[in-house]
Amino acid sequence: MVINIILGVLIVVLLAYIVFLNDSLAKEKRKNSVLNHELNLQHLKGDGKKLLANVEIRYCTPKFRVANILNDTALYIAPIETIAIGKIPSNLLVQVLDQAVALEITWYYVTFTTTNNVNNKGWVRGEDIVFSMDPQKRKTQQPDTSEDTNSNN
């Protein structure tokens, strides 16, 4: 009989402790949500810079659909430098889905393969990407044969 009473008391205490921990966890989740929201607002403000309002983003069709990342570069959620959602390593092959110009900067919306498909789409700055069929890049990669041609004449 005494054992049943002790077990009953232990069960009640354990249930009360579980309810207490559950409430504490819910409060911490709410605090975390509020802090994340405030942090996102600070990122949007750009550390004291004025909030980007009325930004004109002009979209156009990209000329090429496959490109390489030149240097380790940030992957952004939008074609403006507000919130980076990841980094892309250099020399990674990406598919180009869209192109935009915002605040006089050319951006490309790219996708690439990851093991977990998390943050595998986003915007990169035009200066951090080179197209496989980019005529300017091909021109710099081809040897200059103009001197050889002239010397044979």
For the chain, state the CA radius of gyration: 28
**Rounded (10°) CA dihedral 15, 17, 18, 19:** 90
Going by pLDDT thresholds of 50, 70 and 90, the confidence category of residue 51 is low
pTM: 0.55
pLDDT of residue 140: 37
Q: Which residues contact 134 (CB under 8 A, 6 or more apart)?
A: 64
- At residue 96, the 3 state secondary structure works out as strand
CATH number at 83 reads: 2.30.30.170
Task: Answer with the residue of higher pLDDT: 83 or 18.
Answer: 18
Task: Give residue 37's domain range.
Answer: 1-51
- At residue 55, the 3 state secondary structure works out as coil
In a domain, 108, yes or no: yes
**Among residues 96, 141, 88, 139, which one has the least CA distance to residue 114?**
88
- Say yes or no: 36 and 77 in one domain: no
Plot region of 103 (φ>0 → left; ψ -120 to 50 → alpha; else → beta): left
- Say yes or no: 14 and 47 in one domain: yes
The answer to whether 71 touches 107, Cβ cutoff 8 Å, is no
Region 108-116 average pLDDT: 91
